[in-house]
Amino acid sequence: MTEHGPDAAVEDELYRIRHSLAHVLAMAVLELRPGAELGFGPPIDDGFYYDFILPEPLSEDDFPEIEKRMRKIIGRREGFEREEMSAADALALLDEMKLPHKREYAEEALIGEQQQDSLSFYRTDGFLDLCRGPHVEHTGKLPADAFRLRSLAGAYWRGDSDNVQMTRIYAWAFKTKKQLNEHVAAFEEALKRDHRKLGRELDIFEIEEETGAGLPLWLPNGTVLRDELEKLAKEFEFRRGYQYVSTPVIAKTDLYRRSGHLPYYAEHMFPFMHLQDADGEGGHGTDYVLRPMNCPHHHLVYATRPRSHRELPLRIAEYGNVYRYEDSGALAGLLRVRGMTMNDAHIYCTEDQIREEFIDVLRLHEELYEVLGIEDYHMRLSTWDPDSPKGKEKYVDDPEAWERTQVILREALEEIGADYDVGKGEAAFYGPKVDMQIRSVTGREETASTNQLDFAQPARFGLTYQGADNQPHRPYVIHRAPLGTHERFVAFLLERYAGAFPTWLAPVQVIVVTVSDRFRDYAARVVETLRNEDGVRAELGPAQEAMGKAIRNAIGRKIPNILVIGEREAENERVTLRRHGSREQQDMSVEELRAHLRRAIATRDKES
């Protein structure tokens, strides 16, 4: 069964191929596991998947047999025949087929929410599936050598962890064998860059059972990356007039009721801590919670004293730790965690200032991405959707404010010539937003950061400023985080550079290895000079280690600058520099090396 996707995608030939192959997969699985219950089976970006409740488990060892059966079905040139029936007849048929989950979906989503009075099925030989279509004419139109089963995964029915867990089979599918092979080769190369693999190999982070799922331990090398990102952001923000604050990671739950977050974020907040007689409040006790976001705290900072229009825009920033109780099935290395540090800031401004401030925020993103070597990204304008089934529950009820602020964000995007698309119904509850969408080297599209325009929370907190007319006015708030969270951005950068960072960002910037231990005194002096006088993260290689092995270890650690010192170097106060990824060697004086490193670090050179 296919989830109902965009109409444009339905007409695409590759969509039809993948959709039809999903049905062929289901037919093959039913041959191998009679009595399996069918779930969803949609096309996806590089293939398709299908969900099953199986009477007996499958493993990847079964993939060759499933593929063999699929190719036999393709060879039979079976047609895909559409059958339309009334909603009542369709539900009765699903009952007869013993497909309770499909019946539930048909009754609730298709008949209940979408108000369909008839439903369509597709028949292929003896196989029948509830499906909108479309499909190829017959299985003979499918490329038998251009698909491959990829992996197994668990998947909750309709994505809800309270529902039954099904077995999902993923597959790649393309029009030609050549396209498939190219995609698989790229995928296998991307696996080598997976941030979880690199994180372990390069001692960046660990997630330990005793600490808890989604709560990473940052190791020394990973902490260097965090510190360098924070330093980068603070330099760029200082030039733009941001002021830094520091606020608690815990607060009374009343704060989040006041902000309006609790109705929307309660399920993603850690359990409340009830403190009996807390703060001497006479026996009733007080509920506290780990903060899931920083903005309510910053609103309190704004409210510490009266504000004048002359102070605006006021830009309050904080590298704030926040905690969100994500579902365990959603956790993924550093990309989705439960404890994170955000490059957060809130800009309090007048309505006339919104456009220019938002443009500056978007340009700040572009500048930071340029430094970090991130090129494959686009922007997404997320708007409200008052006509959605939960529109009135999800969004602040102020249609005029929604329309006005969405126009302002569109103008900002168009002024900078941004490449952007529109996500209708994806806005925050308190205003429209612009997300930065990065496509990683592993092919995923991820939201790297979010920038929101808020017209609701200032009123909830009673925030005002005295205007030029000496009257109180309500400010607007721009929520922005160009580097998102340390966790997610480090994951992007690990995969972008495959762990081989440029000198300015590398956890260890220089390692010195010696031809013989006879030259360790000179090598130690070079390390001391680099560390103490230039602030370079330099280290001396292990004693009594063969030079070849020392160099191989340094390459494995992806240290960008390897210095080799032997008799000639020690006698002439020189070094031989070997860059990571290159076999070329450069002979230079220590002073020349120091000047080279200072320039590479100061300019954050991506190539050095």
> pLDDT tens, 239-268?
999 999 999 999 999 999 998 888 777 888
Over 50: is that where the pLDDT of 5 sits? no
Q: Does pLDDT of 299 surpass 90?
A: yes
Residues with Cβ within 8 Å of 395's Cβ and at least 6 positions away in sequence, in order, are 384, 386, 402, 427, 429
> Are 362 and 480 contacting, i.e. CB atoms less than 8 angstroms apart?
no
Residue 4 has pLDDT above 60, yes or no: no
Mean pLDDT lowest among 222-226, 312-316, 434-438, 501-505: 434-438
Q: What percent of the chain has pLDDT over 70?
A: 95
> pTM for the whole thing?
0.78
pLDDT bracket for residue 279 (50, 70, 90): low
Q: Residue 328 pLDDT > 90, yes or no?
A: no
Give the residues across from 339 on adjacent strands: 323
For residue 1, pLDDT over 50 is answered with: no
Count other Cβ atoms within 10 Å, centred on residue 48.
27
Chain centroid offset of residue 599 CA: 32
pLDDT at 291 over 90: yes
Residue type, position 259, single letter:
S
Give dist(CA 30, CA 154) in Å, integer: 18
At 564, is the pLDDT very low, low, confident or very high (cuts 50, 70, 90)?
very high
Residue 390 — very low, low, confident or very high, per pLDDT cuts 50/70/90? low
Mean pLDDT over 384-407 rounds to 74
For residue 313, say if its preceding peptide bond is cis, omega within 30 degrees of 0: yes
Q: Which residues lie below 8 Å from residue 59, measured CB to CB, with a gap of 6+?
A: 152
242/430 Cα distance (integer angstroms): 23
Q: pLDDT at residue 379 above 90?
A: yes
Average pLDDT for 51-66: 95
Q: Please tell me the predicted confidence (pLDDT) of residue 249.
A: 95
Please determine, for residue 276, whether its predicted confidence score (pLDDT) is greater than 90. no
Average of per-residue pLDDT values in the chain? 90
Least confident of 294-303, 340-349, 421-430, 598-607: 421-430
Q: Give whole-number Cα distances, 225 to 228, 230, 331, 425, in Å.
A: 5, 9, 21, 35
Distance CA 566, CA 552 (A): 17
The whole-number pLDDT of residue 2 equals 36
When pLDDT is averaged across residues 12-33 and rounded to a whole number, the result is 95
User: What average pLDDT does this structure show over 49-75?
Assistant: 96
What pLDDT is attached to residue 402? 86
Residue 388 has pLDDT above 80, yes or no: no
Contact by Cβ (8 Å): 417, 372: no
User: Average pLDDT in the 519-545 region?
Assistant: 96
pLDDT band at 151 (very low <50, low <70, confident <90, very high): very high
Residue burial 323-351, b: 16+ Cβ < 10 Å; e: rest:
bbbbeeeebbbbbbbbbbbbbbbbbbbbe
pLDDT(341) > 60: yes
Give the mean pLDDT of 484-510. 95
Q: Choose the weakest-confidence range: 139-153, 221-235, 401-415.
A: 401-415
What is the pLDDT averaged over residues 306-315? 97
pLDDT at 283 > cutoff 70: no
Which of 101-110, 383-392, 461-470 is least confident?
383-392
pLDDT at 372: 95
| Contact call for residues 388 and 441 (beta carbons, < 8 A) | no
The three state secondary structure string of 153-192 is: EEEEHHHCCCCCEEEEEEEEECCCHHHHHHHHHHHHHHHC
CB 147 within 8 A of CB 21: yes
Q: What is the pLDDT of residue 261?
A: 81
Residue-level pLDDT at 466? 97
CB proximity list for 183: less than 8 A, separation 6 or greater: 46, 172, 174
Closest CA to 262 of 476, 415, 419, 460: 460
Model pLDDT, residue 524 = 97
**Distance separating alpha carbons of residues 141 and 20, to the nearest angstrom:** 10
